[in-house]
């Protein structure tokens, strides 16, 4: 069954990662005419590179509008039934988007994310993705998602709205969106049926560099309790529940499969999170 889908990501400099992402899409046969890229005021070779691609959408912002504005621009460009909102520092696997959407449909989910490995690409990702999907295809982390790559049904935007379009947030937009999503009964999950490799927050690192911040600094100081309309106790409880749920998933997945839906590549080894 063919699905109506679109893909979008925002980029800000770091053209080498955008190239790697595009090359991985081409390698697995993902049509670039389904992709809308929003450039947030890059000053490197990004715009020249994008001009040479047969994209479905190419949006140039005159300055950095941050992710929320850019994601909304990309989503609204196509207004497809399903939209993948992802980072530009990713490597995808064969049949990734088809399997992601079909898994969502088969399991009555309207928001779905793939499993992922963060870190250095010093292993055979193609072979790893095939074997891991075979091994973990029935494993889900329910009522969650990841901001690195998330596939969203258009009904979700109609129900809770789009991403917060405030350039001052500089990366907190996904947290607000997912917080609003958690208040609903919308089905959402991370699936082990699809895997990707994530190099790791490249755009945020570039923005920190532009602002004169170190890699360890927060991109922006935010009062997350205020933005999420939470009291101090409520916020602490939410963080505690999230941390304990992640621990429980890790223990269960390792015990049954010997791996988890989120790994990190460190010193040529997989660290399961």
pLDDT digits (tens, 9 = 90+) for 27-65: 999 999 999 999 999 999 999 999 999 999 999 999 999
Query: What pLDDT band is residue 226 in, cutting at 50, 70 and 90?
Result: low
Q: Across the chain, which distance is largest between two alpha carbons, in Å?
A: 52
- The structural domain count of the chain equals 1
Percentages (nearest 5) of helix, strand, coil residues in the chain = 45, 20, 35
The residue segments making up the domain with residue 70 are 5-223
* 252, part of any domain: no
| Contact (CB, 8 A) for 8 and 37 | yes
* 230, part of any domain: no
Query: What pLDDT band is residue 206 in, cutting at 50, 70 and 90?
Result: very low
* 235, part of any domain: no
* 114, part of any domain: yes
Distance (Å, rounded) from C-alpha 267 to C-alpha 59? 38
* 272, part of any domain: no
Distance (Å, rounded) from C-alpha 71 to C-alpha 75? 6
Distance (Å, rounded) from C-alpha 46 to C-alpha 19? 9
* 118, part of any domain: yes
Query: What pLDDT band is residue 216 in, cutting at 50, 70 and 90?
Result: low
| Contact (CB, 8 A) for 55 and 34 | no
């Amino acid at each position: 069954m063919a699905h109506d889908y679109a893909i979008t990501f925002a980029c800000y400099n770091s053209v080498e990662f955008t190239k790697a992402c595009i090359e991985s899409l081409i390698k697995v046969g993902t049509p670039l005419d389904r992709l809308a890229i929003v450039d947030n005021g890059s000053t490197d070779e990004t715009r020249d590179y994008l001009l040479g691609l047969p994209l479905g959408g190419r949006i140039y912002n005159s300055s950095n509008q941050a992710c929320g504005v850019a994601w909304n621009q990309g989503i609204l460009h196509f207004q497809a039934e399903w939209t993948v909102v992802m980072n530009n520092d990713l490597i995808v696997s064969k049949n990734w988007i088809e399997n992601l959407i079909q898994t969502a449909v088969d399991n009555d989910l309207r928001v779905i994310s793939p499993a992922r490995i963060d870190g250095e690409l010093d292993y055979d990702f193609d072979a790893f993705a095939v074997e891991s999907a075979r091994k973990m295809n029935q494993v889900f982390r329910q009522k969650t998602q990841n901001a690195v790559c998330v596939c969203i049904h258009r009904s979700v935007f109609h129900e809770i709205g789009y991403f917060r379009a405030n350039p001052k947030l500089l990366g907190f937009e996904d947290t607000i969106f997912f917080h609003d999503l958690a208040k609903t009964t919308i089905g959402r999950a991370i699936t082990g049926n699809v895997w990707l490799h994530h190099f790791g927050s490249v755009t945020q690192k570039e923005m920190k560099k532009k602002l004169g911040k170190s890699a360890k600094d927060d991109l922006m100081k935010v009062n997350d309790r205020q933005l999420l309309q939470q009291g101090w106790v409520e916020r602490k409880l939410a963080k505690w529940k999230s941390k304990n749920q992640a621990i429980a998933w890790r223990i269960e997945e390792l015990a049954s499969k010997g791996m988890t839906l989120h790994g990190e590549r460190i010193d040529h080894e997989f660290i399961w999170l």
